[in-house]
Amino acid sequence: MKSLIEKFGKPGGWVIAYALFGTLMTGSYVYAATTGWDWGSEKGDIPAEVRNSQHGYRTYSYWHSGHHWHGPTFLFWSSSPYRGYRWGK
């Protein structure tokens, strides 16, 4: 490290900012790759009352009455935190 500093000078603000940015991006990639995260995939839960109803997850009203799914959640961030189901009313 000392010889690098002698060769290239002391790393400045840009280098430190890039190191942080790159670490964040690389870390995010490692997280995404190891957890199977993918862009464009939505995630949600069918409520217990729907699942326990007569038709279970096939309940017509659940799919057609507008339920709230999350968009592609990544770490603490979601691209569409409150998105109505496309065919819901």
Partner 1 sequence: MTAFPCVRCKAELASDLPPHATVICPACRMAHVQAADGGTNAREEVPAPPPSSHGIRVGLKGELDGVPFTILGRTIQSQGKNRWSEWCLLDRENRTHFLSDAQGALHLLKLRGTRPHAPSPASITVGTRLELQPGEVFHVRERGETITVSAEGQLPYEVVLGQRIAFADLDAVGGALATLDWREGMEQPPDLWDGYATTPADLALAVGKSGAPDAFECPSCRQVSPLHLGAETISVGCPKCWTLFQRGDTGWVSGGPQKAGARPLLSLGRSGVIRGETLLVAGVMRRSCMVDGESYGWTEYFCLVKDRAQGTPEQRHRWLMEQDGHWSVIRPLGRGDVSSAGPEHVLFQGDSFKEFSTVRGITESVLGEQPYACQPGDAALLTDYVKPPRMVSAEDTGDEVFWTLGDYVQRSEIAAAFPGVELPAPDGIAPNQPNPARGTAMWTLLLTAAFWVVILLVYFIISGGARDAQVARFDITPSPPPASPEADPAAAAGDSAFYSEPLTITANNRNVQVYVSGAPENDWESVDITLIHEASGTVRGTTLQLESYRGVEDGENWHEGSTVDTGYLANVPKGTHVLRVDAECGRKPCGAVTVSLRSDVPRPMYAFLLLFLLSLVPILGFAYAQYLETRRWMNSTNTVGGEG
42 touches partner 1 by CB under 8 A: yes
- Which position among 2, 66, 68, 72 is part of the footprint of partner 1 (CB under 8 A)? 72
Distance between CA 20 and CA 12 in Å, rounded? Answer: 13
18 touches partner 1 by CB under 8 A: yes
Give the contacts of 87 (CB within 8 A, at least 6 positions apart). 63, 64
- Which position among 19, 68, 77, 80 is part of the footprint of partner 1 (CB under 8 A)? 19
Give the bridge partners for 74, in sequence order. Answer: 77
Give the bridge partners for 84, in sequence order. Answer: 68
36 touches partner 1 by CB under 8 A: yes
49 touches partner 1 by CB under 8 A: no
Interacting residues with partner 1 (CB under 8 A): 4, 7-9, 11-12, 14-15, 18-19, 22-23, 25-26, 29-30, 32-48, 51, 55, 57-64, 69, 72, 86-87
